């Protein structure tokens, strides 16, 4: 099968109207039926300027994972030494694949499915697979926004509700975060829990004791989820015309919040200890293959590779746009944001550890455990805690909102480009987005039930896992590097020496090594998860398997210390793009496995 060549006629420049010459008619005459049919179809649209594209991509790739995953991985995998495998994967895998997907969209002016159809029809399944992942993300990623909105609204009180044990949902075993006293001021029992944990599990989630008990819908979370979908809908309902304007605020506001939190964090006592803990290098950790796996998976997630988003956003560029320069800039901006966010997070965690008199390792968390347990606990110890709580959750909301509506936009673009005659008409796009929003909202209601957290974890671990993305990355490289034979070449750019050198890299055999390396990385990652080594099967992990959200000795012990109880010991792991998919400790999934294999 010979790949199609589109170098002669740029697809982005094809006219929306076509002329048909007929015998006896002047050349260029058109039939009235064709005129009517073409006039009904709306133009595909383009970014009005480069900044709209840059901010849209920045809003997609710079998300929650930059704040709650990268800093945690950095300290866990050797501090500053983790930057070595991270940078290696960035230059050998992240930037090339990022440029490949963006250039593919700009080259074909098509969405995530039809772009691969034009490059090589036999690999069209890559596009469908990426849209399946997008569908899963659209259902469960926005749940995080509903949690953040709930916390934001709860912050507008004289006393933060998770700071004390004087609330209706608190139990007799509650431990006050501020003064570490129980409700009745008695000696702390062994199974005491902190007020932060009780707020999260009882007030926010209403957590049940297993996936077999979903319970009822938490109406407050359902309303927050509805609000999140409403905001998302109006951000993209007019296509790039509306999205390009919204991102001017949504993509820049989180940086303002991050800067404020960074300045506040480094001024706290104990901040220096937290930052040292974050960056202190441990070169010996580089001998652990898990460190390299974490680095590679973090690159794929944080750069939104294999999700179809980059192809969709790039398809709205002008054909002559220098996307090479844009991609390099965005990649470095993304990694720099992750690095700086670590200072903002670990300065606060250092302060928190000092206030509680515990090691930083006991309060350092990843994923929702950091966002909804550890950091909210830390802000209660600051003056004017309500202000810092509002700023933090506003930052989370805008970080997640960008990623969410770009995911929806990616799916909408793919569907419209697959069926332009149906959806590229006046009012059809708005109806399509509304249909997607309604369907995803109704499916998302399962995740805001009292047992919805268990379903959320299943989505998080399997729906958009690192293995899925690695698998797709292999086929992307095979398709473009081996089948198509070259990366897209832009006529107006090939005269630039830097572009020529970059585009010639795949022809030197690197594309095959990249494909082989990505495949090996994916297979090894899968084997590590399916067959944990014997040294990981310890009595400690056996004990943790019995400790799922709701209580247990490990959770009680951590709560008795007054800390933000270890999120991983309660099944609180990360989510979505940038989520922690390499879990050494995931008792929630172990509990689910025990339930599935042993109904009793």
d(CA 14, CA 32): 21
Distance CA 368, CA 9 (A): 48
Q: Residue positions in the annotated binding site for Na(+)?
A: 59, 66, 302, 334, 399, 402-403
Q: DSSP state, 449?
A: B
| Closest C-alpha to 148, from 440, 404, 368 | 368
Q: Classify residue 472: in a domain, yes or no.
A: yes
How far apart are alpha carbons 442 and 142 in whole angstroms?
Answer: 12
Tell me, what's the pLDDT at 300?
Answer: 86
Contacts of 181 (CB under 8 A, 6+ apart): 175
Contacts of 62 (CB under 8 A, 6+ apart): 251, 254, 333, 334, 337, 399, 402
Q: Are 366 and 567 in contact (CB under 8 A)?
A: yes
Is residue 94 within 8 Å of residue 295, measured between CB atoms?
no
Closest CA to 262 of 275, 273, 252, 280: 275
CB neighbour list of residue 77: distance below 8 Å, 6 or more residues apart: 285, 288, 290, 291, 294, 295
346 close to 274: Cβ distance less than 8 angstroms: yes
* Contact assessment for residue 303 and residue 94, using Cβ atoms and an 8 Å cutoff: yes
- Asked if 414 and 314 count as a contact pair (C-beta separation under 8 A), the reply is no
The answer to whether 231 and 404 are in contact (CB under 8 A) is no
The residue among 330, 456, 458 whose CA lies nearest residue 59 is: 330
What is the pLDDT tens value at each position of the chain, 600 positions in all? 444 444 444 444 443 333 334 444 444 444 455 444 555 677 888 898 899 999 999 999 998 888 888 888 888 888 889 999 999 989 988 898 999 999 999 989 999 999 999 888 889 999 999 999 999 999 999 999 999 999 999 999 988 999 888 889 888 888 876 665 444 445 555 667 888 888 999 999 999 988 888 899 999 999 999 999 999 999 988 888 888 889 999 899 999 989 998 998 899 898 999 999 888 888 999 988 888 888 888 888 889 999 999 999 999 999 888 888 999 999 999 999 999 999 998 898 888 888 878 888 887 777 777 888 888 888 888 888 899 999 999 999 999 999 999 999 999 999 999 999 898 888 899 999 999 999 999 999 999 999 999 999 888 888 777 778 888 888 888 888 777 755 444 444 443 334 344 444 443 344 455 555 555 555 555 555 544 433 333 333 333 333 333 333 333 333 333 333 333 333 343 333 334 333 333 433 333 333 333 333
Cα-to-chain-centroid distance, residue 599: 33
110 inside domain: yes
Q: Give the pLDDT score at 330.
A: 95
CATH number at residue 266: 1.10.4160
What b/e sequence results for 366-391 when a residue is b if at least 16 CB atoms lie within 10 Å of its CB, and e otherwise? bbbbbbbbbbbbbbbbbeebbebbbb
Q: State which H helix or E strand residue 175 sits in.
A: strand 174-175
* Per-residue pLDDT, 222: 96
182 in helix, strand or coil? strand
Give counts: helices (H), strands (E), the chain: 29, 2
398 within a domain of the structure (yes/no): yes
In a domain, 2, yes or no: no
Q: Six-digit token pair at 215?
A: 């319970």
Q: What is the largest CA-CA distance in the chain?
A: 100
The residue written with tokens 């109006």 in the block is: 234
* The predicted structure's pLDDT at residue 188: 56
Find where tokens 């709209």 sit: 52
For residue 454, what pLDDT is reported? 92
Q: Residue 46 and residue 471: Cα distance in Å, rounded?
A: 31
Residue 14 lies in a domain: no
Q: Give me 583's structure tokens.
A: 């879990």
Residue 599 class from Cβ within 10 Å (0-12 exposed, 13-18 middle, 19+ buried)? exposed
The number of residues making up the chain comes to: 600
Q: Are 411 and 419 in contact (CB under 8 A)?
A: no
Does residue 8 lie in a domain region?
no
pLDDT at 357: 81
Whole-number CA gyration radius for the chain: 25
Dihedral through CA 64, CA 70, CA 76, CA 80, nearest 10? -160
The partner residues of 193 in beta bridges, in order of sequence, read 174
> Closest Cα to residue 477, out of 490, 464, 465, 487?
487
Structural domains counted in the chain: 1
> Of 226, 167, 229, 227, which Cα lies nearest the Cα of 201?
167
How many angstroms separate the CA atoms of 45 and 41, rounded? 12
Q: How far is CA 330 from the centre of its chain?
A: 16
Residue 12 lies in a domain: no
Go through 293-305 and write b for each residue having 16 or more CB atoms within 10 A of its CB, e for each that does not. bbbbbbbbbbbbb
- Cβ-based neighbour number of residue 410 at 10 Å: 28
Bridge partners (DSSP) of residue 418 are none
Domain interval for residue 424: 45-573+584-597
For the chain, the distance separating the N- and C-terminal CA atoms, rounded to the nearest angstrom, is 55
CB count within 10 Å of CB 459 equals 20
On whether residue 3 sits in a domain, the answer given is: no
Annotated binding site: 59, 66, 302, 334, 399, 402-403
């Amino acid at each position: 099968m010979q790949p199609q060549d589109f170098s002669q006629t740029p697809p982005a420049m094809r006219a929306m109207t076509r002329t048909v010459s007929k015998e006896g008619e002047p050349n260029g005459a058109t039939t009235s039926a064709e005129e009517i049919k073409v006039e009904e179809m709306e133009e595909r649209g383009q970014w009005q300027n480069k900044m709209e594209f840059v901010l849209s991509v920045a809003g997609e790739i710079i998300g929650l994972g930059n704040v709650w995953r990268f800093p945690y991985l950095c300290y866990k995998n050797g501090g500053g030494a983790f930057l070595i495998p991270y940078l290696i994967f960035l230059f050998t895998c992240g930037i090339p694949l990022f440029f490949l997907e963006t250039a593919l969209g700009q080259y074909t002016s098509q969405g995530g499915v039809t772009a691969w159809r034009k490059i090589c029809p036999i690999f069209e399944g890559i596009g469908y697979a990426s849209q399946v992942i997008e569908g899963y993300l659209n259902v469960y990623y926005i749940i995080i926004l509903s949690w953040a909105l709930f916390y934001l609204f709860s912050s507008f009180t004289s006393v933060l509700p998770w700071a004390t044990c004087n609330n209706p949902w608190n139990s007799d075993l509650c431990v006050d975060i501020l003064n570490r006293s129980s409700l009745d001021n008695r000696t702390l029992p062994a199974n005491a829990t902190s007020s932060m944990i009780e707020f999260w599990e009882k007030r926010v989630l209403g957590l049940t004791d297993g996936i077999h008990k979903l319970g009822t819908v938490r109406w407050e979370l359902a309303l927050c989820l509805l609000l999140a979908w409403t905001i998302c809908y109006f951000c993209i309902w007019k296509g790039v015309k509306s999205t390009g304007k919204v991102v001017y605020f949504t993509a820049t506001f989180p940086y303002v919040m991050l800067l404020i939190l960074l300045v506040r964090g480094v001024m706290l006592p104990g901040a220096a200890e937290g930052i040292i803990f974050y960056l202190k290098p441990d070169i010996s950790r580089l001998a652990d293959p898990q460190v390299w796996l974490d680095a590679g998976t973090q690159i794929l997630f944080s750069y939104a590779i294999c999700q179809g988003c980059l192809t969709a956003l790039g398809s709205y560029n002008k054909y002559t746009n220098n996307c090479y320069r844009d991609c390099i800039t965005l990649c470095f901006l993304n990694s720099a944001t992750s690095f700086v966010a670590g200072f903002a997070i670990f300065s606060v965690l250092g302060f928190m550890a000092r206030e509680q008199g515990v090691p930083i390792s006991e309060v350092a968390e990843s994923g929702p455990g950091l966002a909804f347990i550890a950091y909210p606990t830390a802000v209660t110890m600051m003056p004017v805690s309500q202000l810092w709580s509002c700023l933090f959750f506003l930052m989370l909301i805008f970080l997640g909102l960008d990623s969410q509506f770009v995911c929806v936009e990616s799916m909408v673009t793919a569907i419209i480009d697959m069926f332009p005659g149906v959806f590229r008409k006046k009012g059809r796009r708005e109806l399509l987005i509304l249909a997607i929003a309604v369907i995803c909202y109704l499916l998302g209601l399962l995740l805001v039930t009292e047992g919805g957290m268990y379903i959320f974890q299943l989505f998080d671990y399997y729906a958009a896992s690192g293995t899925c993305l690695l698998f797709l990355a292999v086929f992307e490289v095979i398709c473009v590097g081996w089948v198509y034979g070259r990366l897209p070449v832009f006529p107006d750019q090939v005269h630039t020496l830097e572009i020529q050198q970059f585009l010639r890299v795949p022809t030197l055999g690197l594309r095959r090594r990249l494909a082989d390396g990505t495949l090996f990385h994916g297979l090894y990652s899968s084997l590590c998860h399916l067959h944990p080594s014997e040294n990981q099967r310890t009595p400690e992990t056996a004990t943790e398997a019995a400790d799922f959200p709701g209580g247990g000795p490990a959770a009680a012990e951590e709560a008795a210390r007054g800390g933000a109880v270890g999120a991983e010991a309660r099944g609180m792991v990360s989510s979505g793009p940038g989520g922690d998919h390499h879990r050494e400790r995931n008792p929630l999934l172990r509990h689910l496995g025990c339930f599935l294999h042993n109904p009793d």
